[in-house]
Amino acid sequence: MDGTSSSLPSEVDVVPQTPQLIALYTVIRDRETSRADFVFHADRIIRLLLEHALNYVPLVPRRVTTPVGAVYDGLAYGEKICGVSVVRAGEAFEHGLRQIARSVRIGKILMQRDERTAEPRMYWAKLPNDIASRWVLLMDPMVATGRSVSMAVAALLRAGVPQTRVLVVSMFACREGVEALLRAYPHVRLVTGAVDAGLTPDKYITPGVGDFGDLYFGTMRRGEEEGCGGREDSLVTDEGSRMEGSIREPGAAPR
């Protein structure tokens, strides 16, 4: 099911598998690719995915006058949007989103995998005050088991965002994660560039890309595992734990 939309629910939108897109994915999947090339090609994919996701935001008619004095009947965005990145790996999408919408507001959700239970735990969510009135692009490069992104969607719903206004944007997904997400939240939409075959015993998407966060940000692993971007969960960072205005989940340990 690599990169295809065969027999997937209608809420899953796999972007068209053009030769250009397949070539970009080939570069970032290659274990021999340098970090500089990985980031360059990942950024290109990210922008393509975000542009595609914005097709779901409603537009309204707009009439303008061109420089030659002619009237042109076009379209304009009629709704506000914001991005929400799942820290750390989802932050890779922020630059691409700002290139598309320069003044866009961006929130963050911080999670970490419990290595004993393999379950994600949410530490805090920092979201725009008016997020309930916006369309939300929830940015997380991997939808593996689906538990992490489902927890992030739950945080958005608690903030008043309707499911129908949540657009999950990911670079990689697998059927297990897709089914888990839509079983919990059947009205969200997932926009992705690749739906891969499945998961490894360690819950990495396969063939996948490995640990996206480590590859993109150029970090090393501490001990056996650090960073869960290659699966779906994200690493707690010192920068994120100090973000002003953050709201911790009840019972979450301070960082």
Give the model confidence (pLDDT) of 117-128 as tens digits: 767 889 999 999
Q: Is residue 199 in a domain? A: yes
pTM over 0.95: no
Catalytic residue among 211, 231, 233, 237: 211
Q: Assess whether 130 carries a catalytic annotation.
A: no
Provide the domain count of the chain.
1
Instruction: Give me the pLDDT at residue 255, please.
Output: 28
For residue 33, indicate whether it is catalytic.
no
Q: 20: domain range? A: 12-52+80-248
**pLDDT band for position 3 (50/70/90)?**
low
User: Does the annotation count 147 as an active-site position?
Assistant: no
| Any domain includes 2 | no
28 domain-assigned = yes
Would residue 3 count as lying in a domain? Answer: no
Share of the chain above pLDDT 70, in %: 82
87 within domain boundaries: yes
Average pLDDT over residues 204-212: 95
Q: What is the DSSP letter of 140?
A: -
pLDDT at 85 over 90: yes
Structural domain includes residue 90: yes
Query: What is the per-residue pLDDT for 118?
Result: 66
- 234 within a domain of the structure (yes/no): yes
CB 77 within 8 A of CB 55: no
For the question of residue 102 being annotated catalytic, the response is: no
CATH value at residue 216: 3.40.50.2020
CA-to-CA distance for 223 and 234, rounded, in angstroms?
Answer: 16
Active-site hit among 113, 121, 165, 231? 113
User: Of 182, 187, 168, which is closest to residue 84 (Cα–Cα)?
Assistant: 168
Please name which of 149, 147, 129 lies closest in space to residue 139, comparing C-alpha atoms.
149
The reply to whether 147 falls in a domain is: yes
